[in-house]
Amino acid sequence: MTFTVAIIGRPNVGKSTLFNRLVGKKLALVDDQPGVTRDRREGEAHLGDLTFTAIDTAGLEEADDASLAGRMRQQTEAAIQDADAILFVIDARAGVTPIDRHFAGLVRRASKPVVLLANKAESRAVGLQTYEAFGLGLGDPVPISAEHGEGLSDLYDALREALPEHTAAPEEDEFEEPEGEERDENAVRPLRIAIVGRPNAGKSTLINRMIGEDRLLTGPEAGITRDSIGIEWEWRGKPVKLFDTAGMRKRAKVEDKLEKLSVADGLRAVRFAEVVVLLLDATIPFEKQDLAILGLVEKEGRALVVAVNKWDLVAGEPGKLKKLVEDSEHLLSNVKGAKIVPVSALTGDGLDKLLEACFEASEVWSKRVSTAALNRWLTRIVDNHPPPAVSGRRIKIRYMTQVKARPPHFAIFGNQLNELPDSYTRYLVNGLRETFELPGTPIRLSLRTPE
């Protein structure tokens, strides 16, 4: 099912850059019709597994006739009218300007689903300036960088949240629904798992083994579907969709591009997935590429499970698992506590444990902590270890709340929080992780200081 999204905002906030990123650089589909649509570009946009029509309203700022404001307004209103949802873009560096407020008013009046994007937020500290964005009345700002391609998975989540009926997994839509019967709102979506790891870690073997096991239990091909990006099947009655990077890589012919390609494919799979299984080779764990993947998992905010494959080759070595867990501790610092599961794709040992760990990780990743519990904890932890004073003034932490899940994202409000040392932020994140049992997931923390 397809839908239309309008990219709205004042000139220069990065609408075209975002449009180009979603639609692709080639712009083969740019529509340059004369007449009313002259100032508008439309194209087929791709974001994760979503495909939709994007409308870009940029380009007007170049026309310097007197009626510019009027035309801009007209274009914006027309685009809003044609859209199922709106991406409202502001410039996180510049903060909210009166023209932003003007455009926000148009958007609010339309009463359509809106995602508020704070663009140019490639360095995290910039997030502080977006505090005032809450005042636009368009919900929580999602920080992105259209130019650097950051925050797209948050945009993906926000868009799905804004338009649940358009973005439901396509497989759910394929079924004809009997007249008059409501769709089951609680229909279980498959858990999306990406299997990533360097070449030869055993990804293909693992996936074949997973599906093969199932086939033994349920008969040939039962419940297994494949599409270009994934394989869907059921594990213990629960739907799972696997994203496999191995197949993509094997199509690559040029040997010396191998490493680069597999990282790019890894990124694609990581973006599709909720849970990432980093598949290590027990005989050479934590190589450079594995670390690159860990970085992606943290950056894209996915849940992590580490599978140590080819365990059949090292199972005899005493202390091997203990050593791996120790070694991994600092490597996994941003996704601390991720389960480490020894497996053998060859024999099938450990695969049930691995899938169990994936479901657990996704639960942690989706967890919501009540504001009351957070603030009780915050008072205690700040009393135990107050933040330092900066140039004679004490940093004050006042209040916190969870603004999002998948991954858990908390906002802390207070004074001078931009002065908070990284060590203190880590203290808070580690405390959150321990107290609220959030192992194996990145934790986001926004610091917000009102003006």
> By the criterion CB under 6 A, which residues form the site for ligand GDP?
9, 11-17, 58, 61, 119-120, 122, 145-148, 197, 199-205, 246, 309-310, 312-313, 344-346
Closer to ligand GDP by CB, 86 or 438: give it: 86
Closer to ligand GDP by CB, 126 or 395: give it: 126
User: Is 273:243 a contact under the CB 8 Å cutoff?
Assistant: yes
- Flag whether 307 is marked binding: no
- Flag whether 54 is marked binding: no
Closest Cα to residue 352, out of 240, 272, 429? 240
Closer to ligand GDP by CB, 297 or 374: give it: 297
- Flag whether 95 is marked binding: no
Please report the beta strands in 94-178, taking only residues with DSSP state E, as ranges in sequence order: 114-119, 142-143
Closer to ligand GDP by CB, 67 or 283: give it: 283
The Cα 246–Cα 271 span in angstroms is 16
**Minimum CB distance to ligand GDP, residue 280 (Å):** 11
The Cα 221–Cα 215 span in angstroms is 6
Residue 425 zone, left/alpha/beta (φ > 0; ψ -120 to 50; rest): alpha
- Burial zone of 221 (CB within 10 Å; 0-12 exposed, 13-18 middle, 19+ buried): exposed
**Minimum CB distance to ligand GDP, residue 364 (Å):** 26
- Flag whether 173 is marked binding: no
SS3 content of the chain, % helix, strand, coil (to 5): 45, 20, 35
- Flag whether 220 is marked binding: no
**Minimum CB distance to ligand GDP, residue 57 (Å):** 8
Q: How is residue 24 written in tokens?
A: 């692709």
The Cα 336–Cα 438 span in angstroms is 9
**Minimum CB distance to ligand GDP, residue 312 (Å):** 5
Closer to ligand GDP by CB, 147 or 172: give it: 147
**Minimum CB distance to ligand GDP, residue 92 (Å):** 9
- Flag whether 203 is marked binding: yes
- Flag whether 204 is marked binding: yes
Closer to ligand GDP by CB, 144 or 382: give it: 144
Closer to ligand GDP by CB, 266 or 408: give it: 266
User: Is 191:169 a contact under the CB 8 Å cutoff?
Assistant: no
The Cα 208–Cα 351 span in angstroms is 12
Closer to ligand GDP by CB, 10 or 406: give it: 10
Q: What is the dihedral of CA 34, 11, 19, 157, to 10 degrees?
A: -140
- Flag whether 14 is marked binding: yes
- Flag whether 27 is marked binding: no
The Cα 445–Cα 206 span in angstroms is 35
Instruction: Report residue 405 CA to chain centroid gap.
Output: 10
Quickly count: other Cβ atoms within 10 Å of residue 222's Cβ: 11
Instruction: Report residue 32 CA to chain centroid gap.
Output: 33
Half-sphere exposure of residue 212: CA atoms within 13 angstroms, side-chain side: 11
Closest Cα to residue 74, out of 17, 162, 28, 63? 63
**Minimum CB distance to ligand GDP, residue 244 (Å):** 8
Q: How is residue 108 written in tokens?
A: 């609010």
**Minimum CB distance to ligand GDP, residue 227 (Å):** 19
The residue to which tokens 């905002």 are assigned: 9
- Flag whether 247 is marked binding: yes
**Minimum CB distance to ligand GDP, residue 50 (Å):** 20
Closer to ligand GDP by CB, 13 or 193: give it: 13
- Flag whether 199 is marked binding: yes
**C-alpha radius of gyration, the chain, whole number:** 24
**Minimum CB distance to ligand GDP, residue 299 (Å):** 15
Annotated binding site: 9-16, 56-60, 119-122, 197-204, 244-248, 309-312
Annotated binding residues for GTP? 9-16, 56-60, 119-122, 197-204, 244-248, 309-312
